Structure 1
Amino acid sequence: MNTKILILLGLAALAAADSGEFRYYGNSGSRESFESSEAQYQFQWAVDDDSSENHYGHQEARDGDDTQGSYSVLLPDGRRQTVTYYVDGDDGYIADVKYSGEASFESASFESREAPRYAPPQRRYYDSNESK
């Protein structure tokens, strides 16, 4: 019996949530109805740091289900990675990744190229007659 009631309440909640309409009842008791609208935006930003020669950025535009954009970043090996993407309905996020420039580690500092070396502590034995 409890299972039937739970299923019935679940179906009622599902039907109410599927209406696609949002109702807000404020303190005034008014019953205004607001249709949800499709997302629509666009943005763009960029960073140009001449001291490190690092230039990167991102831009994206969306109109409903149509989303597309690109971003780029300077990789540690000196190449630029550019990702151009779009959202294709149920297929999801589709990305095209391209690299420009040649990989080079010459510009990296010595500290960044070599891993730190670890030396285990040396054992030291004490004579029981000797003060530590």
Structure 2
Amino acid sequence: MLFVFAALLAVAVADSRPAYQPAYRPAYQPAYQPAYKPAYKPKGYGHHDDYSEPRPYQFGYAVNDHYHGAVFSQNEQADAYGNVEGYYSVNLPDGRVQHVKYVANDYGNNAEVTYEGEAQYPQYKPAYQPAYKPAYPVHPAPAYQPAYKPAY
């Protein structure tokens, strides 16, 4: 009989709910609700891309700014074996154009640099020339006068 009573007591205790119930349960939702859920699963902090194998790519750009005079460009491509070939050119301040063709592979980095044009260094002329010539000296040069004359 004691066994049956203990079993009923165990069932009653396991089925009972906690005695504490909150007195107030808010009926509102938070002000911010996301408008959508992304269709992708974001990568976690433990995710790492594998960069051990070379990946082929190709890119290029060119700038020709007529207002400031900047002209430069670059093209580069790489294959699946890690070999990189490229070319770039830039207008130098001395008036020449520098062309560089380069190759980077297992044997090292090799570059062929050529120049187009002759370096020019024109005489500097300021952009603004004053229309008047000041008369120098405007004030006479100061002359030293001792404050007192020593009596020897």
TM-score, normalized by length of structure 2? 0.45
RMSD of aligned Cα (Å): 2.9
Within the alignment, does 1:50 sit opposite 2:66 as a pair? yes
More relative contact order in 1 or in 2 (CA 8 Å, sep 6+)?
Answer: 1
Within the alignment, does 1:82 sit opposite 2:82 as a pair? no
Closer, same or farther in 2 for the Cα pair 1:47/1:84, shift >3 Å?
same
Q: Across the two proteins, how many residue pairs are aligned to each other?
A: 83
- Equivalence for 2:82: 65
Matches within 5 A, 1:34-49: 37-49=53-65
Closer, same or farther in 2 for the Cα pair 1:37/1:88, shift >3 Å?
closer
- Equivalence for 2:120: 104
Q: Which has the higher strand share?
A: 1
Give the drift of 1:53.
3.0
Give the drift of 1:88.
3.2
Matches within 5 A, 1:7-22: none
- Runs of at least 5 residues in structure 1 that lack an aligned partner in the other structure: 1-25, 27-33, 112-128
**Structure-2 separation of matches of 1:39 and 1:110:** 52
Give the drift of 1:94.
0.2
- 1:85-105 residue CA offsets vs partner (Å, 9 max, x unmatched): 00131x211000000011112
* Residue identity matched to 2:67: S
* Residue identity matched to 2:61: W
**Structure-2 separation of matches of 1:50 and 1:103:** 21
Q: Which has the higher helix share?
A: 1
- 1:77-129 residue CA offsets vs partner (Å, 9 max, x unmatched): 1000010000131x2110000000111122x8547xxxxxxxxxxxxxxxxx8
- 1:21-80 residue CA offsets vs partner (Å, 9 max, x unmatched): xxxxx8xxxxxxx89542211110111011233210111100132110011111111000
Closer, same or farther in 2 for the Cα pair 1:40/1:82, shift >3 Å?
same
**Structure-2 separation of matches of 1:69 and 1:55:** 18
